[in-house]
Amino acid sequence: IAGITQAPTSQILAAGRRMTLRCTQDMRHNAMYWYRQDLGLGLRLIHYSNTAGTTGKGEVPDGYSVSRANTDDFPLTLASAVPSQTSVYFCASSERAGEGTGELFFGEGSRLTVL
Amino acid sequence: GQNIDQPTEMTATEGAIVQINCTYQTSGFNGLFWYQQHAGEAPTFLSYNVLDGLEEKGRFSSFLSRSKGYSYLLLKELQMKDSASYLCAPRDSNYQLIWGAGTKLIIKP
Protein backbone atom coordinates (compact mmCIF):
# COMPACT_ATOMS: atom_id res chain seq x y z
CA ILE A 1 0.00 0.00 0.00
CA ALA A 2 1.46 3.34 -1.06
CA GLY A 3 2.04 5.93 1.60
CA ILE A 4 4.41 7.06 4.32
CA THR A 5 6.09 4.76 6.77
CA GLN A 6 7.54 5.97 10.05
CA ALA A 7 9.71 4.05 12.48
CA PRO A 8 9.73 3.45 15.33
CA THR A 9 6.05 3.84 16.24
CA SER A 10 6.95 4.31 19.87
CA GLN A 11 10.18 4.79 21.80
CA ILE A 12 11.28 5.57 25.33
CA LEU A 13 14.63 7.29 25.43
CA ALA A 14 17.00 8.44 28.15
CA ALA A 15 17.90 12.13 28.15
CA GLY A 16 21.17 12.83 26.39
CA ARG A 17 20.84 9.95 23.95
CA ARG A 18 20.87 10.34 20.19
CA MET A 19 17.79 9.22 18.29
CA THR A 20 16.81 9.06 14.63
CA LEU A 21 13.20 8.83 13.54
CA ARG A 22 12.89 7.31 10.10
CA CYS A 23 10.44 8.35 7.40
CA THR A 24 10.02 6.79 3.97
CA GLN A 25 7.46 7.56 1.28
CA ASP A 26 6.79 5.72 -1.96
CA MET A 27 4.58 8.30 -3.66
CA ARG A 28 7.50 10.12 -5.31
CA HIS A 29 6.44 13.32 -3.59
CA ASN A 30 8.86 16.20 -3.82
CA ALA A 31 8.10 17.88 -0.49
CA MET A 32 8.44 16.31 2.95
CA TYR A 33 7.88 17.65 6.44
CA TRP A 34 8.42 16.81 10.09
CA TYR A 35 5.89 18.03 12.66
CA ARG A 36 5.51 17.56 16.37
CA GLN A 37 2.13 17.46 18.06
CA ASP A 38 1.68 18.26 21.73
CA LEU A 39 -1.51 18.27 23.75
CA GLY A 40 -3.39 21.56 23.42
CA LEU A 41 -1.15 22.83 20.66
CA GLY A 42 -1.41 22.73 16.90
CA LEU A 43 1.02 20.79 14.79
CA ARG A 44 4.34 22.61 14.73
CA LEU A 45 6.73 22.36 11.82
CA ILE A 46 10.24 21.28 12.76
CA HIS A 47 11.99 20.98 9.40
CA TYR A 48 10.93 20.62 5.81
CA SER A 49 12.35 19.71 2.43
CA ASN A 50 10.93 21.07 -0.79
CA THR A 51 12.93 18.67 -2.93
CA ALA A 52 15.69 16.10 -2.60
CA GLY A 53 18.97 17.71 -1.59
CA THR A 54 17.40 20.73 0.12
CA THR A 55 16.11 21.29 3.64
CA GLY A 56 14.73 24.23 5.61
CA LYS A 57 13.96 25.17 9.19
CA GLY A 58 10.42 25.34 10.43
CA GLU A 59 8.92 26.93 13.51
CA VAL A 60 10.72 24.78 16.14
CA PRO A 61 14.00 23.47 14.64
CA ASP A 62 16.31 23.70 17.68
CA GLY A 63 17.64 20.34 18.84
CA TYR A 64 16.68 18.61 15.59
CA SER A 65 18.40 17.98 12.28
CA VAL A 66 17.28 16.43 9.00
CA SER A 67 18.73 15.26 5.73
CA ARG A 68 17.19 14.55 2.32
CA ALA A 69 19.67 12.46 0.36
CA ASN A 70 16.98 11.11 -1.98
CA THR A 71 13.30 11.60 -2.77
CA ASP A 72 11.97 8.83 -0.57
CA ASP A 73 13.71 9.25 2.79
CA PHE A 74 13.62 12.08 5.30
CA PRO A 75 15.08 11.09 8.68
CA LEU A 76 14.82 13.33 11.75
CA THR A 77 17.67 13.22 14.28
CA LEU A 78 17.69 14.35 17.88
CA ALA A 79 21.39 14.77 18.66
CA SER A 80 20.98 14.82 22.44
CA ALA A 81 17.40 14.25 23.56
CA VAL A 82 15.81 16.37 26.31
CA PRO A 83 12.52 15.80 28.14
CA SER A 84 10.87 18.73 26.33
CA GLN A 85 11.19 16.72 23.14
CA THR A 86 8.66 14.23 24.45
CA SER A 87 5.96 14.41 21.81
CA VAL A 88 4.26 12.67 18.92
CA TYR A 89 6.18 13.20 15.71
CA PHE A 90 4.50 13.11 12.31
CA CYS A 91 6.22 12.90 9.00
CA ALA A 92 4.23 14.18 6.02
CA SER A 93 4.66 14.63 2.31
CA SER A 94 3.02 16.54 -0.52
CA GLU A 95 3.37 16.26 -4.25
CA ARG A 96 5.20 19.56 -4.36
CA ALA A 97 5.70 22.64 -2.23
CA GLY A 98 4.04 25.92 -3.05
CA GLU A 99 0.88 26.47 -5.06
CA GLY A 100 -1.94 24.05 -5.55
CA THR A 101 -4.01 22.14 -3.09
CA GLY A 102 -0.84 20.97 -1.40
CA GLU A 103 -2.65 18.16 0.35
CA LEU A 104 -0.43 16.61 3.00
CA PHE A 105 -0.21 12.86 3.50
CA PHE A 106 0.84 11.87 6.99
CA GLY A 107 2.62 8.89 8.44
CA GLU A 108 1.12 7.15 11.44
CA GLY A 109 3.31 9.01 13.89
CA SER A 110 6.16 8.20 16.25
CA ARG A 111 5.47 8.60 19.96
CA LEU A 112 8.70 9.58 21.71
CA THR A 113 9.15 9.80 25.47
CA VAL A 114 12.39 11.28 26.83
CA LEU A 115 13.07 10.55 30.48
CA GLY B 1 1.83 37.28 14.64
CA GLN B 2 0.00 34.32 13.28
CA ASN B 3 -2.95 32.96 15.18
CA ILE B 4 -5.67 30.37 14.72
CA ASP B 5 -8.73 30.26 16.93
CA GLN B 6 -11.19 27.37 17.03
CA PRO B 7 -13.30 25.93 19.86
CA THR B 8 -11.55 23.35 21.99
CA GLU B 9 -14.46 20.94 22.17
CA MET B 10 -17.99 20.53 20.81
CA THR B 11 -20.71 17.97 21.39
CA ALA B 12 -23.43 17.00 18.93
CA THR B 13 -26.04 14.29 18.48
CA GLU B 14 -25.93 11.51 15.93
CA GLY B 15 -27.90 12.50 12.83
CA ALA B 16 -27.67 16.22 13.54
CA ILE B 17 -25.65 19.03 11.92
CA VAL B 18 -22.66 20.76 13.49
CA GLN B 19 -20.63 23.79 12.43
CA ILE B 20 -17.02 24.19 13.56
CA ASN B 21 -15.74 27.74 13.28
CA CYS B 22 -12.19 28.91 12.71
CA THR B 23 -10.82 32.44 12.70
CA TYR B 24 -7.29 33.12 11.62
CA GLN B 25 -4.62 35.78 11.28
CA THR B 26 -1.69 34.93 9.05
CA SER B 27 1.13 36.67 7.23
CA GLY B 28 -0.34 36.44 3.78
CA PHE B 29 -2.86 33.83 2.71
CA ASN B 30 -2.71 30.99 0.23
CA GLY B 31 -5.71 28.87 1.00
CA LEU B 32 -7.13 27.11 4.04
CA PHE B 33 -7.28 23.41 4.84
CA TRP B 34 -9.40 21.28 7.13
CA TYR B 35 -8.09 17.96 8.39
CA GLN B 36 -9.71 15.24 10.47
CA GLN B 37 -7.74 13.41 13.14
CA HIS B 38 -9.08 10.43 15.06
CA ALA B 39 -7.55 9.85 18.48
CA GLY B 40 -4.15 8.19 18.20
CA GLU B 41 -4.10 8.46 14.42
CA ALA B 42 -2.63 10.71 11.76
CA PRO B 43 -4.51 13.70 10.32
CA THR B 44 -6.30 13.12 7.03
CA PHE B 45 -7.28 15.74 4.47
CA LEU B 46 -10.91 16.88 4.35
CA SER B 47 -11.13 20.09 2.34
CA TYR B 48 -9.34 23.02 0.79
CA ASN B 49 -10.67 26.55 0.15
CA VAL B 50 -8.78 29.27 -1.65
CA LEU B 51 -11.66 31.46 -2.86
CA ASP B 52 -14.56 32.84 -0.84
CA GLY B 53 -17.61 30.66 -0.64
CA LEU B 54 -18.76 27.16 0.10
CA GLU B 55 -17.12 23.94 -1.03
CA GLU B 56 -19.33 20.87 -0.66
CA LYS B 57 -18.07 17.32 -0.51
CA GLY B 58 -20.67 14.78 0.50
CA ARG B 59 -21.70 15.24 4.13
CA PHE B 60 -18.91 17.77 4.69
CA SER B 61 -18.82 21.38 3.51
CA SER B 62 -16.29 24.11 4.14
CA PHE B 63 -16.78 27.85 3.89
CA LEU B 64 -14.25 30.65 3.57
CA SER B 65 -14.39 34.42 3.95
CA ARG B 66 -10.96 35.87 3.30
CA SER B 67 -11.96 39.44 4.22
CA LYS B 68 -13.15 38.27 7.64
CA GLY B 69 -10.35 35.76 8.25
CA TYR B 70 -13.03 33.16 8.87
CA SER B 71 -13.83 29.62 7.88
CA TYR B 72 -16.20 26.94 9.04
CA LEU B 73 -16.57 23.22 8.54
CA LEU B 74 -20.14 21.94 8.36
CA LEU B 75 -20.84 18.29 9.05
CA LYS B 76 -24.29 16.94 8.21
CA GLU B 77 -26.04 13.69 9.16
CA LEU B 78 -23.53 13.09 11.90
CA GLN B 79 -22.34 9.56 12.45
CA MET B 80 -20.54 8.11 15.46
CA LYS B 81 -17.42 7.71 13.33
CA ASP B 82 -17.28 11.50 12.97
CA SER B 83 -16.08 11.72 16.57
CA ALA B 84 -12.59 13.14 16.04
CA SER B 85 -10.58 16.32 16.18
CA TYR B 86 -10.93 18.77 13.32
CA LEU B 87 -7.91 20.88 12.48
CA CYS B 88 -8.09 24.25 10.74
CA ALA B 89 -4.91 25.19 8.87
CA PRO B 90 -4.51 28.30 6.74
CA ARG B 91 -1.43 28.56 4.54
CA ASP B 92 0.71 31.67 4.81
CA SER B 93 2.66 33.71 2.27
CA ASN B 94 5.49 31.12 2.38
CA TYR B 95 3.01 28.34 1.62
CA GLN B 96 3.50 26.90 5.08
CA LEU B 97 0.49 25.57 6.98
CA ILE B 98 -0.31 27.24 10.30
CA TRP B 99 -2.21 24.75 12.43
CA GLY B 100 -4.88 25.39 15.00
CA ALA B 101 -4.99 23.22 18.13
CA GLY B 102 -8.09 21.52 16.77
CA THR B 103 -11.69 21.09 17.84
CA LYS B 104 -12.55 17.81 19.52
CA LEU B 105 -16.00 16.76 18.33
CA ILE B 106 -17.93 14.34 20.50
CA ILE B 107 -20.93 12.61 18.95
CA LYS B 108 -23.59 11.26 21.29
CA PRO B 109 -26.23 8.69 20.32
Q: Which of A101, A106, A107 sits opposite B48 (nearest CB)?
A: A101
Cβ–Cβ of A104/B97 closer than 8 Å?
A: yes
CA distance A48 to A91: 10
| Range of lowest pLDDT (A76-85, A96-105, B85-94) | A96-105
Q: Chain B interface, mutation test: which of A104, A108, A110, A111, most B Cβ atoms within 10 Å?
A: A104
- Residue A114 clears pLDDT 90, i.e. is over it: yes
CA distance A60 to B83: 30
Burial class (CB in 10 A: 0-12, 13-18, 19+), B39: exposed
Q: Do B71 and B32 meet the contact criterion of CB atoms below 8 Å apart? A: yes
State the nearest Cα–Cα gap between A33 and chain B, in angstroms: 10
Residue B96: pLDDT band by 50, 70, 90 thresholds? confident
Q: Do B71 and B88 meet the contact criterion of CB atoms below 8 Å apart? A: yes
Chain A residue with minimum CA distance to B95: A98
Q: What pLDDT, on the 0 to 100 scale, is given for residue A1?
A: 60
Residue B1: pLDDT band by 50, 70, 90 thresholds? confident
Q: Write out chain B residues lying below 8 Å of A45, CB-based.
A: 96-97
Cβ–Cβ of B45/A104 closer than 8 Å?
A: yes
pLDDT (tens digit, 9 = 90+) per residue, B41-89? 999 999 999 999 999 999 999 999 999 999 999 999 999 999 999 999 9
Q: Do B84 and B107 meet the contact criterion of CB atoms below 8 Å apart? A: no
